[in-house]
Structure 1
């Protein structure tokens, strides 16, 4: 039995779709949801549904009963993630889960000096708990989803002609979330879990000068890239009414890119997919080529 947490989210739903496409039996797949009102799409797929909440330890232990492999998708509520993740690992151990596949993050700096420490802290703690648990596990060091790049570029880029982001000359080896999902499905169905860590990246890294050039070529409009200070960037977003939490996340990831935190290239994703991941230029053509 394979249980997918966060089954109604984009990544979890994508994993289930790819599992079914790869021939997994519907009755062997379980989607974990927090409420019945979100379970409809999963039931339409024919997979099992169980209820559980990362904040409710008892619900997790019940949901994990009889599960062989657990896909543990990291929680989205960053302020509560430490306690939530600790609940998941403890519940999985007590329920007798044999293997956990965990969606962690790409990084180079594992100290509090990291611009994305608020995100890093819970991931690093969870990896430590997994190692200490004695449960066989696979850690996925996910780079930034390519799907998020238009958000960093800005929704008014074609109007302003400028990408305004404090990412300096830093590069990011970004890949599509759905290709992450496809690769994860392959891992979940593998008869052996010999490799404990996968670097989920593209086969090349990109900086925002290149991204501006790609969008220029695709749209026929001149797009330039300007890297302000982090403070200036934050002030602009604040004036625009962007919530402080969102500013912190976008600013942190931009600063992390500037420092080379996400400039890590691996062929792990390519090998699992059996092809090269979608290039950023091809993806941007889909977004801006209309």
Structure 2
């Protein structure tokens, strides 16, 4: 059985859909969920539900019994993630899981000097635990989801005509979440992936100045890009009532991009997909063209 954790989230659910599209029998796919009521759609697809919680070690051992391959989608609670991930790896070993595919994080700076160290450190520790576990593993180092770009731009970017983000001239090789999920499904069903680390990033990186130029072309409106300091950015967004935790997260990613930490390109994802990933220009057209607004 292939068990997908985080199965009610966007990434896990999308991966399950791709597994089904690839012809994997529902009886061979499991979904780890905390609340069965929130997984009715998965149950209706015939996927077996396993109840488990990253915070509950005993629940994970029970959920992992009989699992051959585990898609370990990283936890979203950054502060609790280190302990949660240790639970997952240890429980998987005790339950006899044979292969773990883990969604990690891709950044050039893997030290405490990175603005994204709070995000990255638990991922790096989890990679170490996997390598020391004796279980076959595949590490997917995921870049920023392209789906999040509109959130960074702000919902009124077309009306205001300004992209306001402290990302400087830095670039990011963002990729659509659905394409990462598709490549993940291909990894789960393929062979020769044990012991491999794949960089799930684009073959082309882009800057927010390029995004501004492309939005101007798409919408016929002049869209400017302004990169303030992180301090100016924080003060401005605070003045608009944006919660501090969101400001901190957006600012950390933007500053990391300004520092060149997210400017990683590669062909791993394209090779696993069998095609070139969707470009940011195509994505922006889909989101912002007049016919789609």
The TM-score bracket by the shorter chain reads: over 0.9
Which residues in structure 2 correspond to 1:238-249 (within 5 Å)?
A: 238-249=238-249
**1:137 positional shift:** 0.4
Asked whether 1:48 is paired with 2:36, we answer no
More divergent stretch after superposition (278-287 vs 149-158): 149-158
TM-score by length of 2: 0.97
Name 1:235's counterpart in structure 2: 235
Give how far 1:192 is off.
2.9
Q: Deviations over 1:212-250 (max 9, x none)?
A: 011101100000100000001011111111111111111
Alignment of 1:261-272 (within 5 A): 261-272=261-272
Matched, 1:131 2:131: yes
2: CA distance, partners of 1:219 / 1:39: 39
CA contact (8 A) 2:137 2:195 kept: no
Cα deviation 1:72-99 (Å, max 9, x = unaligned): 0000111111110110010001111111
How many angstroms apart in 2 are the aligned matches of 1:174 and 1:209? 15
CA-CA distance at 1:191 after TM superposition = 2.9
Residues 124-168 of structure 1: CA deviation (Å, up to 9, x unaligned): 111111111111101011000000001111111111111000000
Aligned residue number for residue 157 of structure 1: 157
Q: Partner residue of 2:251? A: 251
- SS of the aligned residue for 2:218 comes to helix
What secondary structure is seen at the aligned counterpart in 2 of 1:168? coil
Partners of 2:192 and 2:24 in 1: CA distance? 16
2:20 equivalent in structure 1: 20
Equivalent pairs counted in the alignment come to 290
**Equivalent residue for 2:168?**
168
User: Equivalent residue for 1:280?
Assistant: 280
SS in structure 2 opposite 1:31? strand
TM-score normalized with structure 1 length: 0.98
**8 Å contact from structure 2 (residues 170, 207) kept in 1:** yes
- CA distance, structure 2, for counterparts of residue 147 and residue 220 of structure 1: 22
For structure 2, the residue ranges without an aligned partner over 5 or more in a row are none
- The equivalent of 2:108 in structure 1 is 108
Q: What value does the CA root-mean-square deviation take over the aligned residues? A: 0.8
Report the more deviating stretch, 190-199 or 258-267.
Answer: 190-199
- 1:194 is displaced (CA, Å) by 4.5
